[in-house]
Amino acid sequence: MSRTLALMCLGLALLGCSKNEPPPEPVRPVLSVQINPRNIEQLGRFAGTIQARYESTLGFRVSGRIARRAVDVGAEVKAGDLLATLDPTDLQNQVRSSQGDLARVQAQWINAQADARRQQELFDRGVGAQAQLDVAQTNLKTTKASLDQAKASVSQARDQLNYSELRTDHDAVVTHWNAEAGQVVGAGQEVVTLARPDIKEAVIDLPSTLAEQLPPGVTFSVADQLEPSIVTTATLRELEPQADSATRTRRARLTLADTPASFRLGTAIGVTLSTAIEPKVELPLSAIQEVDGQSRIWILDMQNHTVAPQAVQVLSRDQDSVIVSAGLKAGTRVVSAGVNSLKPGQKVKVDEGSKQ
């Protein structure tokens, strides 16, 4: 009897000891993401084109009918090359008329010179009157003035004839014609537009609201739309002061840091705007745990396979993600799913399907 009682006491003692020992914490599987702080904010991407920084529109200096166009749109021209000509018939007639007037005045000039010499000789011998000498000398001066005027008229007529040819004064590319052969144009009327290909720039249209709030350190990344791997940077050179009334956009002209060979005039480009910001971290919405009005995340210790909570400040959120303030080292892994069942120091198992 005493032996049975002793065994019962021993069993009860052992049972009591097993109840005091807590059961081991289960190892919970979790998903995780690696933190990569973001210190660049994208402001948008816009389509644009490569254009010449300098363009000029030329016209004839005289009126007339365009006889022919010597080049087409897209043609490369050198300084002095012929672009177009007017019908020269009327201008040629003006040259002939002025030359005829010059010949007539030259004959009068010869007669006036001879008459002035004759009257001077008669006066010197005492047989000529002073009045006749004065008339001859006055006529000589008048004829000389008429001769100078006739010569100027001939020179002007020849210049007018030369102006019937429209030539470029610098190397350029023809980008637009405003008149066709057979069309009558006035002096100074726009006829052809030329672009200088040596200095190119990127041109985009920005929404008025964005243009008004561009930060000082904004960076423009310019890429060829057909070859996205060809990229260069640019800086803002000019921003139109007023928005277009129809599109509510403002045209921006960008100076390229360098000009790749594929950036020809008219090339379609994509321009990405970005600016440096205070470092921020983007996390899945499921990584945030709210406890007593405080947001926190769970930091994963990859060496010990344990977790620890850390308070964060949520800056913004949407349906799938949140932006939290920095303070987290790049490369740190954060639990992205299963945060509501974790405890500090708890052992976890990182699921192989976690995001890298």
Structure tokens at 144: 């000389």
- DSSP 8-state code for residue 26: P
Looking at residues 242-264, what average pLDDT do you find?
Answer: 91
Position 251 scores a pLDDT of 93
Q: Which of 222, 221, 224 is nearest to 267 (CA)?
A: 224
Residue 152 to residue 146: CA distance in whole angstroms: 10
- pTM summary value: 0.59
- Residue 129 phi/psi, 5-degree rounding, is -85, 150
Q: Which of 302, 301, 327 is nearest to 312 (CA)?
A: 327
Greater model confidence, 320 or 153: 153
CA distances in angstroms from 185 to 62, 80, 165, 308, listed in the order given: 9, 22, 13, 83
Q: Are 289 and 308 in contact (CB under 8 A)?
A: no
Q: Is 72 helix (H, G, I), strand (E, B) or coil?
A: coil
Q: What is the pLDDT of residues 255-306, one digit of tens each?
A: 999 999 899 988 999 999 887 666 777 788 887 888 877 888 888 888 888 8
Give the CB-side neighbour count of residue 178, counting CA atoms within 13 A.
14
Structure tokens at 328: 């987290």
Q: Which helix (H) or strand (E) holds 69?
A: strand 64-69
| DSSP string for residues in 161-192 | HHTTEEE-SS-EEEEEES--TT-EE-TT---E
The label of the residue with tokens 């100078």 reads: 148
Q: Are 341 and 30 in contact (CB under 8 A)?
A: no
Looking at residues 15-38, what average pLDDT do you find?
Answer: 66
What helix, strand, coil percent values describe the chain, rounded to 5? 30, 40, 35
- β partners of residue 77: 172
Minimum mean pLDDT range among 25-29, 46-50, 172-176, 189-193? 25-29
Instruction: Work out the mean pLDDT of the chain and round it to a whole number.
Output: 85
pLDDT band at 355 (very low <50, low <70, confident <90, very high): very low
pLDDT band at 14 (very low <50, low <70, confident <90, very high): low
Answer yes or no: is pLDDT of 313 > 90: no
Cα radius of gyration (the chain): 46
Looking at residues 103-111, what average pLDDT do you find?
Answer: 94
Close Cβ partners of 9 (under 8 Å, ≥ 6 residues apart): none
Q: Are 46 and 204 in contact (CB under 8 A)?
A: yes
Looking at residues 16-40, what average pLDDT do you find?
Answer: 66
Position 1 scores a pLDDT of 46
Q: Are 297 and 339 in contact (CB under 8 A)?
A: yes
State the distance between the two ends of the chain, measured CA to CA, in whole angstroms.
Answer: 68
Pairing, β 314-317 against β 268-284: unpaired
Residue 177 to residue 72: CA distance in whole angstroms: 8
Position 6 scores a pLDDT of 53
Q: Which domains does the chain have, with CATH numbers?
A: 24-38+280-350 (2.40.420.20), 43-53+199-278 (2.40.30.170), 61-84+166-195 (2.40.50.100), 89-162 (1.10.287)
Position 35 scores a pLDDT of 76
Q: What is the pLDDT of residues 51-68, one digit of tens each?
A: 999 999 999 999 999 999
CA 115 to chain centre: 74
The amino acid sitting at 353 is G
User: pLDDT > 70: what percent of the chain?
Assistant: 88
Greater model confidence, 178 or 126: 178
Position 24 scores a pLDDT of 60
